[in-house]
A and B are shown apart, each in its own frame.
Chain A
């Protein structure tokens, strides 16, 4: 395993629920936060330290832009390194995405064109991050609303290459694969079979929303039946893995999320019952 996450279902923790979590200490195996929300000091760091005293924590970055051309933003990486040192997280993850060109930032998870030069740039940036953090990171597949022409490989093939070259792990987001299946007709299980499955250190599930003729990965709805089924099929291939439920918009009351997280745990428990835990 390339993380210290418990082999159990965890829940994304967003600011509306942090005080309630600290006050009520609900039964959740682990929490994942967006790293940038806790950069710096003050209350944002203090509350995360308090969460960390009681639970394993995963730091999930959304702003490093590992697929961007050129050097990473040093200040961003240094703030991440300081947060990692302060929190001692069970996992650190980022996205297979870019967000910066020519000094300008585009604050979104933009899809990396899988064309000549992409692998070298990604390897360079991932190496830099892993060297600075002194630990491997997990790299997450993203949802995409466009398909670049003449690409040299699928996203899974790119992830496999990056795992080989950098020693990073994979954060497999099955909702993102499902969104890409709906938008572009990819076959999620074919993609998953292209991954080095031993490198999958975490699985994400979330909800999405239909917007005109495109499915958007909003993390703004409950997990749908099809994604639950895809989770089961994925776990059958990978064996048991830490599963995280994400919710970023239309955030419901905490008990609703705890119930959905318990549902994820039941799916994982079924897999645990029928699999030996991988070494």
Chain B
């Protein structure tokens, strides 16, 4: 048997428990289960680290069962365990046993955004000098690239900021308080109003500043985009731009 055949059969055994086909000695065959256990434990630990708020909400044993179900549904695709969990929020949304916790998927989205922002690449702010000579009309047509450690998470129905703060020594969250939007900036999280969230989200979709403001005004007609744009420029979160 070739090296490739042996690995193919080992992989099948890890997925389906088809241990008999793996070309290992009879006396060590039962040890294949240790590898299944190691893979599950390694992924499980990584998911625990990536989703601390979800775990705090449901407890360790519930979380571990959820993580195992996720692993079976979603094979790992990266050798870096910090990449595991990209689809956990969507999985939770469709996970029948979690239907009694309807806010859990949105909390998982926030956990994942925080996790990714923690490890996001360092990107220097853009040199903004060319923007300073633009007229207001020209400025409105500018499209911005934002820092990879800057993410907006929006929940239509659940107070995800309050839930997150509750698990960082904040006061109890009121689950009927309505939806909240959160700005994740590297290792910080900030409550955003919905219009500001829409503004940033629209910019991240590659639309220009005018279009982002229009989208925000659809949420709140008297929204002032100035403070949000000042935050993006002032905190060095604009890493590139295109002048139409």
Interface, chain A (partner B; CB < 8 A): 36-37, 39-45, 63-65, 68-69, 73, 75-76, 79, 98-108, 110, 112-118, 121, 145-150, 183-184, 211, 214, 216
Contacts and interface: CB of A to CB of B under 8 A. Distances in A.
Given A108-B39, A115-B2, A150-B1, A63 B81 contact: yes
Contacts of A214: 31, 34
Contacts of B22: 146
**Which 9 interchain pairs have the tightest Cβ spacing?**
A41-B122, A63-B79, A113-B6, A118-B3, A145-B31, A40-B119, A101-B11, A117-B3, A105-B76
A108 B38 contact: yes
Given A41-B121, A116-B2, A106 B24 contact: no
B118 A43 contact: yes
B149 A42 contact: yes
Contacts of A146: 22, 24-25, 28-29, 31-32, 35
A216 B31 CA distance: 10
B28 A105 contact: no
B224 to A, nearest CB: 31
Interface of B: 1-8, 10-11, 14-15, 22-25, 27-29, 31-32, 34-35, 38-39, 42-43, 46, 75-82, 84, 117-123, 149, 186-187
A73 B76 CA distance: 13
A69 B76 contact: no
- Tell me whether chain A's interface is mostly helix, strand or loop, or mixed: mixed
A200 to B, nearest CB: 25
Nearest to B117: A42
13 contacts: A36-B81, A36-B82, A42-B186, A43-B118, A69-B4, A73-B78, A106-B76, A108-B35, A108-B39, A115-B2, A118-B3, A121-B3, A147-B24
Given A41-B122, A107-B84, A148 B6 contact: yes
B87 to A, nearest CB: 14
Nearest to A65: B79
B242 to A, nearest CB: 23
A107 B2 contact: no
A102 B11 contact: yes
B24 A76 contact: no
Given A100-B79, A107-B76, A110-B35, A40 B6 contact: no
Max chain A C-beta neighbours (<10 A), residue from B8, B10, B80: B80
Nearest to A115: B3
Given A73-B78, A107-B76, A113-B23, 9 more contacts: A36-B82, A37-B82, A43-B186, A69-B4, A104-B15, A116-B3, A117-B3, A145-B35, A146-B32
A183 B43 CA distance: 25
Given A113-B6, A113-B23, A42 B120 contact: yes
Given A106-B11, A115-B2, A149 B78 contact: no
Which of the listed residues A105, A116, A121, A216 has the most CB atoms from chain B within 10 Å of its own CB?
Answer: A105
Contacts of B2: 115-117
Contacts of B122: 40-42, 45
B187 A43 contact: yes
A76 B80 contact: yes
B79 A107 contact: yes
A102 B123 CA distance: 33
Contacts of B43: 107
Nearest to A152: B3
Contacts of B27: 147
A92 to B, nearest CB: 16
A147 B28 contact: yes
Contacts of B35: 106, 108, 110, 145-146
Given A43-B187, A105-B75, A149 B118 contact: no
